[in-house]
Amino acid sequence: MTETTEYRNALPLQSMLFEYRLEAILGAGSFGMTYLGWDTNLEKHVAIKEYLPTELAVRALDGSVVPVTSGHEHDYKWGLERFILEARTLAKFGHPHIVRVNRYFESNGTGYMVMDYEKGEPLNEQLKRKPNPDEASLKTILQPLLDGLRAVHQAGFLHRDIKPGNISIRENSSPVLIDFGAARQ
């Protein structure tokens, strides 16, 4: 987990988003940030993905997310609509190898997706340690993911961003596809 100081656009750790307390930053990319949250109602960890595209928006002093210029407002809102569609897409699936979305809400001028927290390690990190896995190891990762993708495709969606960084290997060694940011119907 990463320190907040590395991400100037991050919300302060220990701050609250409704019933969720932000405990750590799990990752950040060009389209947003993912926090480790604590659900104070259900008393369990969750992953909270925040829409914050770095080319289009910044965090204002009051904590809200705003477009960097008025010229970026249309693109920001279009992206936010796509983020909502991602949440709705993921919420339709109840597959053990696809991350489950439990809630979507808007706050601070942006959107948040609350997902199951899948404790594990990204496949790309495992591949750094062992760059040439054997066929049996690859099959234990790929076969469950392909089963999950079959469900996605049968529902009329394409993932469009399958890569080792979007696959997490849980502590029990089972894989889960965790990011559907590029998914399209």
Q: 157, 142, 39: which is closest to 92 by C-alpha? A: 157
Q: What is the pLDDT of residues 121-137, one digit of tens each?
A: 999 999 999 999 999 99
Q: What is the mean pLDDT of residues 38-43?
A: 98
pTM of the predicted protein model: 0.87
Q: What is the mean pLDDT of residues 74-83?
A: 93
Alpha-carbon distances, residue 135 vs 27, 54, 139 (angstroms): 30, 39, 6
Q: 155, 141, 134: which is closest to 97 by C-alpha? A: 141
Q: What is the pLDDT of residues 22-33, one digit of tens each?
A: 999 998 888 889
CA–CA dist 42, 40 (Å, integer): 6
**Does the structure show a pLDDT above 80 at 75?**
yes
pLDDT of residue 16: 97
Whether the Cβ atoms of residue 67 and residue 57 lie closer than 8 Å to each other:
yes
Compute the mean pLDDT over every residue in the chain, rounded to the nearest whole number.
89
Per-residue confidence at 91, pLDDT binned at 50, 70, 90? Answer: confident
Q: What is the pLDDT of residues 134-167, one digit of tens each?
A: 999 999 999 999 999 898 888 777 776 788 988 9
Per-residue confidence at 178, pLDDT binned at 50, 70, 90? Answer: confident
Whether the Cβ atoms of residue 104 and residue 87 lie closer than 8 Å to each other:
yes
